[in-house]
Amino acid sequence: MLNLFNYIDRQMLFSVFPLIQTDLQISDFQLGTLGSVFMLVYMCYAPIVGFFADRHPRQYWIAASAMLWSAATFLSGLAKNYASLLTARAAIGVGEGGFTTIAQPFLAEQYPKKKRATILAYFALALPAGSALGYFLGGLIGAAWGWRIAFMLVGVPGLLLGFLAFNRIKDREHRSLDNRKKPGLGQYWALLKNKPFLFLCLAHAMQTFAMGGLSAWMPTYFHRFFNMDVAQAGLVFGTMVIAAGALGTFIGGKAADKLLKKTDYAYFIVIAASFVLMIPFAGAGVVSHRMPFSLITFFIAIVFLFIPLGPISASLVALSSRKVRSMAFALNIFIIHALGDALSPALIGHLSDEWGLKMAVLACVAVLLPACVFLHLSAKTARAEGRLIRYYAEDTKEA
């Protein structure tokens, strides 16, 4: 539930872009910057919270983070101008950065290797479900009562869930270690020297760039090119995200865990296949002038875009040791957002101002090509260094 509202509060902004633009009289670039400032703060805070989370019980960080991002979402509705709304979005980045950094490794440690891709895929279902609900609620509430009321209403549930998390979530894996055994900041440098991990993070960054750019601009794309109003665009894209995203996330987790019985390259194969197959379907949707055909191809493209979520998280677990997993996910978050969706909403907005939104969306999808190169390097170096065999063997022993 926390992860669900994590994405509701994050993604609702994009469904009310046209309303905010009309009210505050801002450009496409300024709209995109509202998404980018969130990610800039999110990624910079992640390494900080990751360091402390590996040294102390993690349930308190999870709960406090949820309450912070929910309060900031509520306050977004009280923003009087662009600067105050930008500040509120930055505060949401602190709260959600703290939660996401800790939640995935925390959950992964509760399950053996053979189930992790599936479990993390189930957890990741909150991304399409929460994003879709964000688009639904933003479009419907925004059209009826305005974008300010929409932010205020969706911020309340997270405050209650955050309060419950203090007592309902227990960090049973945490062990009280003396200072000599607790991981230090130098572990971040060690992770950067872990080539398979680093290349995987770079591939993940390209996927995050595409996902962030499309999430930010597709409701506006539907509004401009399919003649949908704000509520219709939010409803249609939200339906596509929850259906295609849930299907892709489920398929990715199940396929990776089944293929893992046959090859150590299972996660890499599933991720690479999804990258390659997503590009032509997204491109066909953009170049077509027929709305039904475009909607079908966009739906298929979204399925492939979501397939890697479970396998990527499981790969990050496999390529990092237990004592620094929060730090590993924190570093991954910093890299993928620094090179990914911290840039893409504003960059796509700028390209839209210069070349039009269709060309901007095509450019957004094209970044999956270098993602395949980084994924190949990750698999190659992992095999050369014996990391796949070693980490999978260690993980089986732990289980």
Highest mean pLDDT among 289-298, 314-323, 329-338: 289-298
> pLDDT tens-digit profile of 50-90?
877 767 677 888 888 999 999 999 999 898 899 999 999 99
**Length of the chain counted residue by residue:** 399
- Give ∠ CA 261-193-200 in degrees, rounded to 5: 40
Higher pLDDT among residues 226 and 108, named by residue:
226
Dist. CA 133–CA 5, nearest whole Å:
9
The average pLDDT across 123-134 equals 82
User: Tokens 């505060």, residue?
Assistant: 91
pLDDT higher than 80, residue 322: no
Mean pLDDT of the chain: 84
User: In the prediction, which pLDDT does 240 show?
Assistant: 87
Dist. CA 189–CA 141, nearest whole Å:
46
Domains within the chain, CATH numbers bracketed: 2-167+187-398 (1.20.1250.20)
Q: Give the dihedral sign, CA 55/45/2/238.
A: negative
Please give the structure tokens belonging to residue 395: 């993980």
Residue 140 backbone dihedrals phi, psi, to 5 degrees:
-70, -50
pLDDT higher than 50, residue 392: no
Specify the pTM.
0.74
pLDDT higher than 80, residue 10: yes
User: In the prediction, which pLDDT does 73 show?
Assistant: 92
Dist. CA 242–CA 249, nearest whole Å:
10
Q: 386: burial class by Cβ within 10 Å (0-12, 13-18, 19+)?
A: exposed
E-strand ranges in 227-342 read none
The average pLDDT across 269-288 equals 92
Higher pLDDT among residues 56 and 200, named by residue:
200
